[in-house]
């Protein structure tokens, strides 16, 4: 592996956020893809690697006695505070990073230069690993009620929709095209999830272009067709996930929501989830709280409250529960939409899927779900995650909220999920890192996977890292529908993600690691060859396990939680393993 070294700065200080005493001195390397800080301390080669694509913002601060501070905020919530000895060097780093962290075209993204040692055929296999058709056949589709429609094969009907879509058997091409003309961005109602057991379906679309009084016969027929494809039910729900006021305001722009009088047998329901701008500001406020230096309990709780973050998470989960109840308990189909149908709609449909179907609570299932409801249905990853320099108003942590909803559910049902927290965090990091091709672009039509690798295949290959040792698919509590409590005290602050790099505040022993060790040992025991091997290496009772690691204790009690930076990527080389090609030398 070759790293292109742009330049390096000696005697840089990496400042500790909580305790200045624990700052470290080292060399800062700027390469074409990473910023690398290597600690000088004799004996240890502590390295901190940060991908340029993960850099969210840079801030130069007023000079202090330790040098010229540069504050780097990352999209994975890492915060790095460097102090650089000379002003000119600080300026160089700042300018270079500013350029490097804001690519202007897709070709500049890391996924096109990321070349692990894999040949082209294998790379192609990586992409073949994910097969959405298999998921639809798992649901029992196509069947007598639902068919695969070729209408959008060339992205002609809706350029942000996937090519393959399921529609009701009775929906004819003119109905589809007509309905799409009456919906924002042509996103007509189509199937997201189908319940084999009772024929109820979750469908999704964008808002209708109803304005104050417009109607569309084909759109009405489309909903009628969805209703008829569920023979057991005589009505369906239409769920608008926006606050009512926002939906009403949209009417003035010729958009809006369904009029119950025009559609036969629909029950219309608003669920107030706020828009992307509110969510962006809310997360920003919450992150400011996370970054407070030794806050009091009141500072923290007040900040958390005023950020509104948990309120929004609860709104998304509440919406998911509403749909779940309609589908599983009432056997009624639901059409979900928001404005464009790619943010809130994606959240709500996928949360409902996790609640409804145990398959989506497995490793593979969650990957399929993200591929289906997010990637294929055109969640605008590149805009929302700011992959390229663009409109800051398009950025919003919509996918973060989905991952957090899953995490909140995992906290309530620790035995119901095959994967662990690490799985969610790794997915989160790579949505932003641009290391894999999966999330590049804003929709299927735009997506170019040429030469890139797939995250799903990587996660699957390394699945042992992501298995939840408590997973019990056969337990009554984990089968079928999950019924979470939505009492506010059940919603917790996700320290593992938002304060992920502040290691001093995390539990120092992990139940999960412990169980994993036991499980591994048990597996070794069960395999006859392994038993002997185990016996040779463990001539001691199980209670004195040597394989388990105790996390380091901080030198001072909680008063000064110590911060260790932990590596983001698992398969990352060390500086020593790389050939550094010098392409720039500072004067």
Partner 1 sequence: MEFAELIKTPRVDGVVLHRPFLPTVEGTLCLTGHHLILSSRQDNTEELWLLHSNIDSIEKRFVGSLGSIIVKCKDLRVIQLDIPGMEECLNIASSIEALSTLDSVSLMYPFFYRPMFEVIEDGWNSFLPEDAFKDLESMTDEWRLSEVNKDFSVCPSYPPLVAVPKDIDDETLRKVATFRHGGRFPVLSYYHKKNGMVMMRAGQPLTGTNGRRCKEDEKLINATLRPGKRGYIIDTRTINVAQQAKARGGGIESEANYPQWRRIHKAIERSNVLQESLIKLVEACNDQSHNMDRWLSKLEASNWQTHVKEILTTACLAAQCIDREGASVLVHGTEGTDTTLQVTSLAQIILDPSCRTIRGFQGLVEREWLQAGHPFQQRCAQSAYSNSKPRQEAPVFLLFLDCVWQILRQFPCSFEFSESYLVLLFEHAYASQFGTFLGNSAAERAKLSLPEKTVSLWSWVNRHQEIERLTNPLFEANSLVIWPSVAPQSLLLWEDSQYIDVIYITIIIIIIILFTISKKYYYDINA
Residue 273 makes contact with partner 1 by CB under 8 A = no
Residue 351 makes contact with partner 1 by CB under 8 A = no
How many residues at the interface with partner 1, by CB under 8 A?
Answer: 69
What angle is formed at CA 35 by the lines to CA 29 and CA 41, rounded to 5 degrees? 55
Residue 132 or 518: which CB sits closer to partner 1?
518
| C-beta of residue 256 within 8 angstroms of C-beta of residue 211 | yes
Residue 21 makes contact with partner 1 by CB under 8 A = no
Out of 86, 475, 533, 574, the residue judged to bind partner 1 by CB under 8 A: 475
Residue 43 makes contact with partner 1 by CB under 8 A = no
| C-beta of residue 273 within 8 angstroms of C-beta of residue 312 | yes
| Least distance from partner 1 to the Cβ atom of residue 478, Å | 9
HSE toward the beta carbon, residue 318, CA cutoff 13 A: 18
Q: What is the C-alpha to C-alpha distance for residues 147 and 170, in angstroms, rounded to an integer?
A: 9
125-129: which pairs have CB atoms within 8 A and are 24 or more residues apart?
A: 125/457, 126/453, 126/454, 126/456, 126/457, 126/458, 127/449, 127/454, 127/457, 129/454, 129/456, 129/457, 129/460
User: What x-and-dash track marks residues 510-549 binding partner 1 by CB under 8 A?
Assistant: xx--xx--xx-xx--xx----x--xx-----xxxxx--x-
| Least distance from partner 1 to the Cβ atom of residue 579, Å | 41
- Per CB under 8 A, the segment of 100-108, 240-248, 348-356, 503-511 that binds partner 1 is 503-511
| Least distance from partner 1 to the Cβ atom of residue 302, Å | 6
Out of 7, 270, 460, 493, the residue judged to bind partner 1 by CB under 8 A: 493
Residue 86 or 475: which CB sits closer to partner 1?
475
Q: What is the C-alpha to C-alpha distance for residues 509 and 504, in angstroms, rounded to an integer?
A: 12
* The CA-based dihedral angle spanning residues 439, 361, 278, 434, taken in that order and rounded to the nearest 10 degrees: -20
Give the Å distances, CA to CA, from 7 to 30, 31, 499. 5, 7, 31
What angle is formed at CA 370 by the lines to CA 443 and CA 361, rounded to 5 degrees? 170
Residue 95 makes contact with partner 1 by CB under 8 A = no
Out of 254, 555, 573, 586, the residue judged to bind partner 1 by CB under 8 A: 555
CB burial string 383-414: b at 16+ within 10 A, e below = bbbbbbeeeeebbbbbbbbbbbbbbbbbeebb
CA nearest neighbour of 346 among 379, 368, 313: 379
Residue 268 or 493: which CB sits closer to partner 1?
493
Q: Enumerate residues 6+ apart whose C-beta is below 8 A from 73.
A: 55, 56, 57, 58, 59, 79
| Least distance from partner 1 to the Cβ atom of residue 51, Å | 25
- Per CB under 8 A, the segment of 60-68, 329-337, 427-435, 553-561 that binds partner 1 is 553-561
| Least distance from partner 1 to the Cβ atom of residue 524, Å | 9
| C-beta of residue 313 within 8 angstroms of C-beta of residue 401 | yes
Burial-class residue 375 by CB neighbours within 10 Å (0-12, 13-18, 19+).
buried
Q: What is the C-alpha to C-alpha distance for residues 338 and 340, in angstroms, rounded to an integer?
A: 6
- Per CB under 8 A, the segment of 112-120, 161-169, 225-233, 554-562 that binds partner 1 is 554-562
Radius of gyration of the chain (CA): 26
- Per CB under 8 A, the segment of 20-28, 113-121, 483-491, 578-586 that binds partner 1 is 483-491
| C-beta of residue 497 within 8 angstroms of C-beta of residue 75 | no
Residue 155 or 300: which CB sits closer to partner 1?
300
CA 419 and chain centroid, separation: 14
Out of 25, 58, 71, 415, the residue judged to bind partner 1 by CB under 8 A: 415
Out of 61, 98, 137, 509, the residue judged to bind partner 1 by CB under 8 A: 509
Residue 64 or 522: which CB sits closer to partner 1?
522
Residue 441 makes contact with partner 1 by CB under 8 A = no
DSSP string of 81-101? EEEESSHHHHHHHHHHHHHHT
Give the Å distances, CA to CA, from 146 to 90, 195, 547. 61, 12, 53
DSSP string of 455-479? HHHHHHHTGGGGB-TT--TTSTTTS
Q: What is the C-alpha to C-alpha distance for residues 346 and 398, in angstroms, rounded to an integer?
A: 9
Which of 56, 90, 290, 338 is catalytic? The answer is 338
DSSP string of 201-245? EEEEE--B--TTT---HHHHHHHHHHHHT-TT-S-EEEEE-S-HH
Q: What is the C-alpha to C-alpha distance for residues 201 and 527, in angstroms, rounded to an integer?
A: 44
End-to-end distance of the chain based on CA atoms, in angstroms? 27
Instruction: State which of positions 292-331 bind partner 1 (CB under 8 A).
Output: 294-302, 304-305, 308, 310-311, 314
Residue 272 makes contact with partner 1 by CB under 8 A = no
State the binding site for substrate: 275-276, 338-344
State the binding site: 275-276, 338-344
| Least distance from partner 1 to the Cβ atom of residue 539, Å | 9
Residue 1 makes contact with partner 1 by CB under 8 A = no
338 is catalytic: yes
Residue 552 makes contact with partner 1 by CB under 8 A = no
| Least distance from partner 1 to the Cβ atom of residue 275, Å | 18
| Least distance from partner 1 to the Cβ atom of residue 237, Å | 21
Out of 409, 504, 563, 578, the residue judged to bind partner 1 by CB under 8 A: 504
| Least distance from partner 1 to the Cβ atom of residue 123, Å | 38
Residue 481 makes contact with partner 1 by CB under 8 A = no
Residue 44 or 487: which CB sits closer to partner 1?
487
Out of 447, 453, 502, 568, the residue judged to bind partner 1 by CB under 8 A: 502
Residues that bind partner 1 (CB under 8 A): 290, 294-302, 304-305, 308, 310-311, 314, 413-415, 470, 472, 475, 477, 485-493, 495, 499, 502, 504-511, 514-515, 518-519, 521-522, 525-526, 531, 534-535, 541-545, 548, 550, 553-559, 561
Residues tagged active-site: 338
């Amino acid at each position: 592996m070759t790293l292109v070294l742009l330049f390096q700065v000696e005697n840089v200080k990496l400042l500790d956020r909580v305790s200045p005493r624990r700052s470290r001195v080292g060399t800062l390397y700027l390469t074409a893809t990473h910023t690398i800080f290597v600690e000088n301390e004799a004996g240890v080669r502590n390295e901190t690697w940060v991908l340029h694509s993960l850099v969210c913002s840079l801030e130069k601060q007023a000079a202090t006695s330790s040098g010229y501070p540069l504050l780097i905020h990352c999209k994975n919530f890492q915060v790095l505070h460097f102090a650089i000895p000379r002003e000119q060097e600080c300026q160089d780093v700042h300018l270079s990073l500013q350029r490097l962290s804001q690519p202007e075209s897709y070709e500049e993204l890391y996924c096109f230069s990321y070349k692990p040692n894999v040949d082209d055929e294998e790379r192609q296999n990586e992409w073949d690993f994910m097969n959405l058709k298999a998921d639809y056949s798992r649901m029992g589709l196509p069947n007598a009620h639902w068919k695969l429609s070729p209408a959008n094969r060339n992205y002609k009907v809706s350029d942000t929709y996937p090519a393959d879509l399921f529609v009701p058997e009775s929906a004819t091409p003119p109905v589809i095209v007509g309905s799409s003309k009456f919906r924002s961005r042509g996103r007509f109602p189509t199937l997201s999830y189908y319940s084999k057991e009772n024929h109820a379906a979750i469908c999704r679309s964008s808002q209708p272009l109803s304005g104050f009084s417009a109607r569309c016969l084909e759109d009405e027929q489309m909903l009628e067709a969805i209703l008829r494809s569920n023979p057991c039910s005589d009505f369906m729900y239409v769920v608008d996930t926006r606050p009512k006021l926002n939906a009403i305001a949209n009417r003035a722009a010729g958009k809006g929501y369904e009029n119950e009088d025009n559609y036969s047998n629909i029950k219309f329901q608003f669920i107030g989830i706020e828009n992307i701008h509110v969510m962006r500001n809310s997360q920003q406020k919450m992150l400011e709280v996370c970054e407070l230096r030794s806050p009091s309990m009141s500072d923290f709780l007040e900040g958390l409250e005023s950020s509104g973050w948990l309120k929004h998470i609860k709104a998304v989960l509440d919406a998911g529960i509403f749909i779940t109840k309609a589908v599983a308990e009432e056997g009624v189909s639901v059409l979900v939409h928001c404005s464009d149908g790619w943010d809130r709609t994606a959240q709500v449909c996928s949360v409902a899927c996790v609640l409804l179907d145990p398959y989506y609570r497995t490793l593979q299932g969650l990957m399929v779900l993200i591929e289906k409801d997010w990637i294929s249905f055109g969640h605008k990853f590149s805009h929302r995650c700011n992959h390229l320099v663009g409109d800051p108003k398009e950025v919003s942590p919509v996918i973060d909220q989905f991952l957090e909803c899953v995490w909140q559910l995992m906290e309530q049902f620790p035995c119901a999920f095959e994967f662990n927290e690490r799985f969610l965090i790794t997915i989160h990091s790579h949505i932003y890192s641009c290391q894999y091709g999966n999330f590049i672009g804003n929709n299927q039509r735009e997506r170019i996977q040429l030469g890139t690798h797939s995250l799903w295949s990587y996660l699957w290959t390394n699945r042992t890292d992501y298995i939840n040792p408590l997973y019990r698919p056969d337990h009554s509590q984990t089968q079928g529908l999950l019924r979470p409590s939505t009492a506010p005290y059940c919603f917790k602050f996700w320290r593992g993600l938002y304060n992920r790099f502040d290691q001093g505040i995390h539990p120092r022993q992990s139940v999960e690691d412990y169980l994993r060790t036991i499980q591994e040992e048990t597996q070794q025991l069960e395999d006859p060859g392994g038993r002997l091997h185990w016996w040779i290496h463990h001539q001691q009772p199980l209670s004195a396990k040597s394989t388990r690691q105790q996390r380091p204790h901080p030198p001072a009690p909680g008063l000064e939680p110590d911060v260790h930076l932990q590596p983001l990527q698992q398969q990352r080389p060390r500086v020593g393993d790389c050939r550094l090609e010098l392409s720039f030398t500072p004067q």
